[in-house]
Amino acid sequence: MAFEAKLSLRQMQKMVMTPMLQQAINLLQLSRMEMLQAVRQEVEANPVLEEMIEETEELDDLSALKSVAEEPTAERNGEGQTEEIDWESYLQDGADYRPSIQYESVDRFERESLLTKPGTLQDHLLFQLHLTVIDQDLVRLGGLIIGELDDNGYLRSSIDGLASLAGVSLEAMESALRVIQGFDPAGVGARDLQECLLVQLRMRPEEHAVAEAIVSGHLHDVERHRFGKITAALGVSLREVQGAVALIASLEPKPGKNYSSEEPQYITADVYILKLDGQLVVTLNEDGLPRLRVSRYYREIMSKQAPTSREARGYVEEKMRSALWFIRSIEQRKRTLVKVAESLVKYQRDFFEHGISRLKPLTLREVADDISMHESTVSRVTTSKYVQTPQGLFGLKYFFHCGVPSTVGEAVSSRKVKDMVHRYLTKEDSRKPLSDQKIVEMLARVHGVEIARRTVAKYRGQLKIPSSNQRRYV
């Protein structure tokens, strides 16, 4: 077989990902707040882009200025003279007129009222440390321990490692840890759940020997409700064990959760689905989003009459193409978002009017076929976006899910089945909690829904509801 080099001509189609096309795709998947930031950055980077000001406001301002300029006054007509004002004495009189500040009222302001963000668990503990401890070495070791606490208030680092890092003995580090464990909130600085519960019990004014004994050696039995075994092991009555377990249940397993350092995430809707005169109407949320246009100044530069250099014209042409493409991409994003929302109204009209009991299974492909777009485009435009509906605020991804087979008709939405499981579990008798298999049988008998037991267990785990054995109240 001989090899030879030759030229051939072939015609083929392929998509080239130009920078402008990549920009348009990236704009599709931005949320409203991210979109606002992207617009501001583009306006700052591209001098051709500018925010559009409403022409009516401009005309009103001009007419107001014109009326003020043409209004005849006595000073303009020479009928009077403006009296000279001594501004220095005027300001002095104003300063004397103001009521004097009572310095004792400043003491009523609290430091917390001037904070710009909520205090963290570390701030709260460090404040107590510097307030109660005088020994500087102990303050240093306590600060090291506080810095190693997680968001729940647990010490996840090894106490041996901290002692080695600080260059002190293990006894000194243990002493500093006991100081931290005496601070508010109770249970902070513990290394595991058992120690956390014991610290809280020992900080109570009264003694709870039975509860401490249960926490020290029978937490596993408490989880499985083996109260008879605990009674036999401790030699106390069942009533005492039940009272101790009730006390343990009232303790806080995560003492630092009320001092979370995470900033709250505020969600604003990208699109509204409103019910007006019995009809569901789709409208975009454009509040705060500036309207863009190409600057008139640079349009004049591009005109043939404006004398400009070759380099300046090339620069303006490049920025002009970028600005036009950016504006076109934003408008395309708006149209795509409206089309997707209108398609959701078409498929999920019963949900918007009656609630989750009428939610239907829906896939990205069905919406993509409905609006004649690619499935990936629908996936991008529904990412990190929210819609305000008559039933509340939802992410656009919420409406896309699979269906569960049903014996009484068409497939049932998996989210609807999950809501059924939640309602069954929240209305059960605490003395006879429902098992996963029992819920499977009830769904099949009452609703005709056929799902596996492991599916119910998965939904229960997503709802953060423990198993029936752990929910049983004795």
* 439: CATH: 1.10.10.60
Comparing 14-28, 245-259, 450-464, the range with the smallest average pLDDT is 14-28
| Domain assignment of residue 200, given as a range | 121-259
The pLDDT assigned to 411 comes to 81
Domain count for the chain: 3
The pLDDT assigned to 406 comes to 77
Q: 22 in a domain, yes or no?
A: no
Using one digit for the tens of pLDDT, what is the confidence trace for 255-311? 988 886 666 677 888 999 999 888 999 999 888 788 888 888 887 777 766 666 788
Average pLDDT (413-431) is 86
Q: 230 in a domain, yes or no?
A: yes
Residue 198 in this model has a pLDDT that exceeds 90: yes
The pLDDT assigned to 272 comes to 93
Confidence of residue 110 (pLDDT cuts 50, 70, 90): low
The pLDDT assigned to 64 comes to 45
357 plus 443 within the same structural domain? no
Average pLDDT (15-25) is 75
126 plus 253 within the same structural domain? yes
142 plus 211 within the same structural domain? yes
435 plus 365 within the same structural domain? no
Residue 20 in this model has a pLDDT that exceeds 80: no
Q: 54 in a domain, yes or no?
A: no
The pLDDT assigned to 179 comes to 93
Q: 422 in a domain, yes or no?
A: yes
Residue 112 in this model has a pLDDT that exceeds 60: no
Using one digit for the tens of pLDDT, what is the confidence trace for 426-455? 888 877 888 889 999 998 888 888 888 999
Average pLDDT (76-88) is 45
Confidence of residue 251 (pLDDT cuts 50, 70, 90): very high
What's the rounded Cα separation, in Å, for the pair 414 and 440?
A: 14
Confidence of residue 63 (pLDDT cuts 50, 70, 90): low
Q: 253 in a domain, yes or no?
A: yes
- For residue 403, which amino acid is it? G
- Cα angle: 181, vertex 187, 190; to 5 degrees: 70
Q: Which residue has the higher pLDDT, 304 or 183?
A: 183
Average pLDDT (248-256) is 90
207 plus 168 within the same structural domain? yes
Comparing 85-89, 102-106, 373-377, the range with the smallest average pLDDT is 102-106
**Mean pLDDT, rounded, of the chain:** 81
Q: What percent of the chain has pLDDT over 70?
A: 82
Q: What's the number of CA atoms in the CB half-sphere (13 Å) around residue 162?
A: 23
The pLDDT assigned to 181 comes to 93
Residue 103 in this model has a pLDDT that exceeds 70: no
Average pLDDT (372-390) is 90
The pLDDT assigned to 26 comes to 85
Q: What percent of the chain has pLDDT over 90?
A: 30
Choose the final residue of a domain: 349, 373, 399. 399
234 plus 324 within the same structural domain? no
The pLDDT assigned to 447 comes to 85
